[in-house]
């Protein structure tokens, strides 16, 4: 009886407390249940080894220092496969050649579910960018493929180059900048141009606002916003407001197009002409804008940095582009020389894709050394085995790209930027810069064209090098920070690109 009275009193006190107290108690109880249940969990004979220590201690390192955390996990367990808990989610980390091959080819490992839970940096709107039906996902993939058809890409090239010219001219004739600011801004603009509409891409203030909002999503992505998105933290509230504003901007642009009745030659028009429902159009633009800008922006920022510190490769790239101009660009018929942007626009798409081995090798090497990806999947099929270790249905599986791209057996001196290095042979998935197996990056073709056009404009329109904080030539080049899971960015203000315009009119 005393116990019953005590429980009744406790219940009454709990129900009469304010929301904040109730919420705090609920969270504490929730965490206590997790701690209690995890304490009694035992690994089976065929289960991956578990990380030592309390599972709650893995949360912050996984999101904040992922590269170091995963390397520590392999070292602490002494295994090529290990597991840990993110609250109630089982996460299994795999490495090695055979595990990599199984990871990229297993039918039950789903990319969408894995990325949605473990990433959290895409604006999530139910039915628009999350909880999508299979039919809608397939439709978005088909539309992205349409954007990258020959005719569409060919029509985009002059606009990408014109955007590049306008932004590069705003830099002035000389100076210095952080590539993760200026180059990233440039890539964001041309991604907006490529994947949205003229109503947005022709408005610099609106593009700048969108970039600020997407930056808010990035900085607001915390362990709490990913694992307990219902928890009303300040970061989550900021993310919600940023998502709403992004949604409103995109919807307003769509409404303006439909009301005007004026057709434009852009991605939005392609989506509308195809008769896609509005949710698909909005989801396509909201999700792919940031996915494309992040990956391509990171690659472009590092590419300019790395060739700035390796003038021999910068020179090779310039020579290759000049050769294309000599072959395809029409000589000016007037006394005034054509702009670099217009001359580059006369080079056909097929030449950019098949006659640029130097640019191809530079892009490949940059994505190898400076794309801090961790591929994420969830096993939606039956349980499977990787290296004789069980992957239960419902478990999350991740593969760090550093396992292959920084492997000294495949890439001797792996941190060295060497576009001339030989590619690994007879090694399954020896390079996964654009994904692998059944999950290749669907925007690869567009991204490569964007990178080549921006690089061509920059190496012919400017001379550049790497300097330190004091403005002196840098003795050592910045090293990609793989713990920065979005940009691989080194410490801010640790280096700059020093640039000076050439005599070539942009």
Q: Tens of pLDDT along 94-122?
A: 999 999 999 999 999 988 777 766 555 55
Q: How confident is the model at residue 55 (pLDDT cuts 50, 70, 90)?
A: confident
What pLDDT, on a 0 to 100 scale, did the predictor assign at position 341?
96
Give strand ranges (E) for 243-379.
Answer: 374-379
Domain count across the chain: 2
Q: How confident is the model at residue 43 (pLDDT cuts 50, 70, 90)?
A: low
What pLDDT, on a 0 to 100 scale, did the predictor assign at position 126?
56
Q: Write the DSSP symbol of residue 433.
A: B
Give strand ranges (E) for 348-434.
Answer: 374-379, 384-386, 389-391, 396-400
What pLDDT, on a 0 to 100 scale, did the predictor assign at position 134?
63
Q: Exposed, middle or buried by CB within 10 Å (0-12, 13-18, 19+), for 226?
A: buried
Q: How confident is the model at residue 262 (pLDDT cuts 50, 70, 90)?
A: very high
**In this structure, is residue 333 part of a structural domain?**
yes
pLDDT at 330 over 90: no
Q: What is the pLDDT of residues 154-190, one digit of tens each?
A: 999 999 999 999 999 999 999 999 999 999 999 999 9
**In this structure, is residue 92 part of a structural domain?**
no
Cα 296 from Cα 298, distance rounded (Å):
5
Cα 60 from Cα 223, distance rounded (Å):
7
pLDDT at 278 over 80: yes
Give strand ranges (E) for 42-129.
Answer: 49-50, 81-86, 89-94, 109-110
Same domain as 461, residue 352: yes
- Mean pLDDT of all residues belonging to the chain: 86
What pLDDT, on a 0 to 100 scale, did the predictor assign at position 292?
84
Cα 39 from Cα 45, distance rounded (Å):
18
Q: What is the pLDDT of residues 465-475, one digit of tens each?
A: 999 999 999 88
Domain boundary among 24, 40, 56: 40
The residue-averaged pLDDT of 398-423 equals 96
Same domain as 476, residue 365: yes
pLDDT at 73 over 80: yes
Q: How confident is the model at residue 432 (pLDDT cuts 50, 70, 90)?
A: very high
Same domain as 139, residue 36: no
What pLDDT, on a 0 to 100 scale, did the predictor assign at position 123?
56
Same domain as 319, residue 458: yes
**In this structure, is residue 305 part of a structural domain?**
yes
pLDDT at 45 over 80: no
CB atoms < 10 A from the CB of 431, how many? 18
pLDDT at 14 over 50: no
User: Tokens standing for 305?
Assistant: 């940095």
What pLDDT, on a 0 to 100 scale, did the predictor assign at position 44?
67
The residue-averaged pLDDT of 261-289 equals 88
**Could you write out the DSSP letters of every residue in 261-294?**
----SSHHHHHHHTT--HHHHHHHHHHHHHHHHH
Name residue, tokens 């628009």.
128
Torsion of CA 140, 145, 148, 150, to 10 degrees: -140
Q: Are strands 396-400 and 89-94 parallel, antiparallel or unpaired?
A: parallel
Residues of the chain with pLDDT > 70: what percent? 85
pLDDT at 151 over 60: yes
| CA nearest neighbour of 84 among 96, 102, 72 | 72
**In this structure, is residue 56 part of a structural domain?**
no
The residue-averaged pLDDT of 398-420 equals 96
**In this structure, is residue 391 part of a structural domain?**
yes
CA angle 258, 259, 262 (to 5 degrees): 70
What pLDDT, on a 0 to 100 scale, did the predictor assign at position 118?
57
Q: Are 97 and 427 in contact (CB under 8 A)?
A: yes
Cα 275 from Cα 239, distance rounded (Å):
31
**In this structure, is residue 387 part of a structural domain?**
yes
Same domain as 253, residue 139: yes
Please name the helix (run of DSSP H) or strand (run of DSSP E) that holds residue 70, with its range, or none: helix 66-77
**Residue of 187 and 439 predicted with greater confidence:** 187
Q: What is the pLDDT of residues 475-501, one digit of tens each?
A: 889 999 999 988 899 998 899 999 999
The residue-averaged pLDDT of 133-141 equals 71
User: Tokens standing for 168?
Assistant: 């590069």
3-state secondary structure of 389: strand
Same domain as 17, residue 163: no
Same domain as 255, residue 379: yes
What pLDDT, on a 0 to 100 scale, did the predictor assign at position 158?
97
pLDDT at 344 over 60: yes
The answer on whether 441 is annotated among ligand-binding residues is yes
| CA nearest neighbour of 184 among 292, 325, 312, 343 | 292
**In this structure, is residue 405 part of a structural domain?**
yes
The residue-averaged pLDDT of 406-426 equals 95
Q: Are 375 and 101 in contact (CB under 8 A)?
A: no
**In this structure, is residue 179 part of a structural domain?**
yes
Domain holding 257, by residue range, is 134-501
Task: Name every residue whose Cβ is closer than 8 Å to that of residue 16 and which is 6 or more positions away in sequence.
Answer: none
pLDDT at 198 over 80: yes
Please name the helix (run of DSSP H) or strand (run of DSSP E) that holds residue 345, with its range, or none: helix 340-345
Q: Are 479 and 368 in contact (CB under 8 A)?
A: no
pLDDT at 12 over 90: no
What pLDDT, on a 0 to 100 scale, did the predictor assign at position 8?
47
Q: What is the pLDDT of residues 372-407, one digit of tens each?
A: 999 999 999 999 999 999 999 999 999 999 999 999
């Amino acid at each position: 009886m005393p116990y019953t009275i005590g429980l009744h009193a406790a219940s009454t006190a709990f129900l009469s407390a304010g929301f904040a107290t109730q919420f705090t108690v609920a969270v504490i109880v929730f965490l206590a249940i997790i701690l209690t249940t995890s304490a009694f969990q035992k690994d089976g004979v065929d289960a991956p080894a578990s990380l030592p220590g309390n599972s709650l201690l893995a949360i912050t390192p996984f999101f904040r220092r992922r590269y170091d955390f995963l390397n520590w996990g392999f070292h602490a367990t002494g295994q090529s496969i290990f597991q840990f808990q993110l609250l109630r989610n089982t996460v299994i980390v795999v490495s090695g050649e055979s595990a990599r091959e199984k990871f990229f080819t297993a039918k039950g490992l789903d990319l969408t579910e894995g990325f949605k839970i473990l990433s959290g940096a895409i604006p999530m709107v139910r039915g628009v960018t999350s909880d999508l039906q299979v039919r809608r996902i397939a439709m978005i993939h088909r539309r992205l493929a349409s954007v990258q058809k020959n005719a569409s890409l060919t029509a985009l090239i002059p606009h990408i180059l014109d955007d590049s010219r306008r932004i590069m001219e705003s830099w002035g004739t000389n100076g210095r900048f952080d590539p993760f600011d200026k180059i990233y801004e440039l890539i964001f603009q041309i991604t907006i141009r490529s994947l949205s509409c003229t109503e947005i891409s022709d408005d610099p203030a609106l593009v700048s606002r969108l970039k600020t909002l997407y930056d808010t999503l990035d900085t607001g992505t915390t362990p709490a916003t990913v694992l307990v998105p219902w928890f009303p933290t300040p970061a989550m509230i900021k993310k919600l407001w940023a998502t709403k504003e992004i949604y409103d901007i995109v919807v307003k642009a769509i409404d303006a197009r439909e009301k005007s009745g004026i057709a434009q030659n852009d991605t939005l028009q392609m989506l509308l002409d195809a008769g896609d429902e509005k949710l698909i159009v909005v989801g396509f633009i909201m999700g792919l804008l940031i996915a494309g800008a992040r990956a391509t922006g990171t690659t472009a920022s590092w590419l300019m940095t790395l060739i700035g510190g390796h003038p021999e490769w910068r020179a090779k790239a310039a020579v290759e582009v000049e050769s294309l101009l000599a072959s395809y660009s029409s000589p000016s018929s007037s006394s005034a020389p054509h702009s670099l942007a217009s001359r580059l626009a006369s080079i056909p798409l097929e030449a950019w894709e098949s006659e640029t081995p130097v640019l191809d090798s530079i892009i490949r090497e940059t994505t190898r050394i400076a794309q801090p990806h961790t591929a994420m999947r969830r096993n939606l099929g039956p349980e499977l085995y990787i290296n004789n270790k069980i992957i239960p249905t419902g478990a999350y599986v991740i593969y760090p790209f550093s396992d292959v791209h920084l492997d000294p057996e495949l890439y001797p001196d792996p941190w060295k930027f060497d576009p001339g290095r030989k590619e690994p042979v007879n090694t399954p998935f020896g390079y996964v810069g654009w994904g692998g197996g059944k999950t290749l990056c669907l925007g690869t073709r567009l991204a490569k064209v964007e990178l080549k056009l921006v690089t061509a404009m920059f190496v012919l329109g400017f001379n550049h090098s790497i300097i330190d904080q004091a403005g002196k030539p840098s003795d050592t080049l910045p090293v990609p920070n793989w713990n920065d899971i979005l940009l691989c960015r080194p410490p801010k203000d640790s280096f700059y690109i020093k640039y000076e315009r050439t005599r070539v009119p942009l």
